[in-house]
Amino acid sequence: MISKKEISELADLCKLSPDDIGREDFLESLEEVINLFDKIKDVGVEGVEPTYQVNDYKEPLTDDIVKESLPQEEVLKNTEEEKYGYFKILKVVD
């Protein structure tokens, strides 16, 4: 069972409303999925390395050359509010 405290902590971490993800039907669906996860307890993994990526790949190093990037107005065109060429958000420091 996921406790109310856990839901409140999860909501804070995922920036979702605790009332919304704390709905009874929603909690039931979460628990149903979490119950599935118990199955993996049977699998022995001692000495097994984790797979983070399926292909061997190296972080490529690129030459330090200045390239043209997106113009400011392109970057800002999807925001709800902008000011002086910046994203406008609430004042966070007085």
Partner 1 sequence: MKIVDLKARDIREKIVSKELTALEVVEAFLEHIENTDKDINAFISIDKEGAKEAALRIDEKIKKGEKVGRLAGIPIGIKDNIVTRDLRTTCGSKMLENYQSPYDARVVEIIRKEDGIIIGKTNMDEFSMGTSTETSYFGPSKNPLDTDLVPGGSSGGSAAALASKQVALALGSDTGGSVRQAASFCGLVGLRPSYGRISRYGLVTLSNTMDQIGVLARDIEDAGLFLSVLAGYDENDPTSVDLDIAPNLDFKADGIADIKAMKIGVPSELESLGIDKEVMEAFNKAIETIKDQGGHVEEISLPHLEYALETYLLISNAEASSNLARFDGLRYGYRAEDYETLDELYVKSRTEGFGDEVKRRITLGTYILTKSHAEEYYKKALKIRTLIREDFDKAFEGVDVLLLPTSTCQPFKLGERLPNPVDMYKMEEATIPASLAGLPAMSIPINHKASLPTGLQVIGKKFREEDVLKLGLAIERMVE
Binding site for partner 1 (CB under 8 A): 2, 6, 9-11, 13-17, 20-21, 26, 29-30, 32-34, 36-37, 39-41, 43, 45, 48-55, 57, 59-60, 62, 70, 74-75, 77-81, 87, 89-90, 92
Min dist CB 52 to partner 1, Å, is 7
Helix (H, G, I), strand (E, B) or coil at 35: helix
Min dist CB 64 to partner 1, Å, is 15
> Can you tell me the distance from the alpha carbon of 76 to that of 89, in angstroms, rounded to the nearest whole number?
13
Q: Which two tokens mark 84?
A: 């002086």
Q: Which two tokens mark 3?
A: 């406790």
* Choice between 20 and 24, CB closer to partner 1: 20
Q: Let me know the angle formed at the C-alpha of 83 by 69 and 85, rounded to the nearest 5 degrees.
A: 20
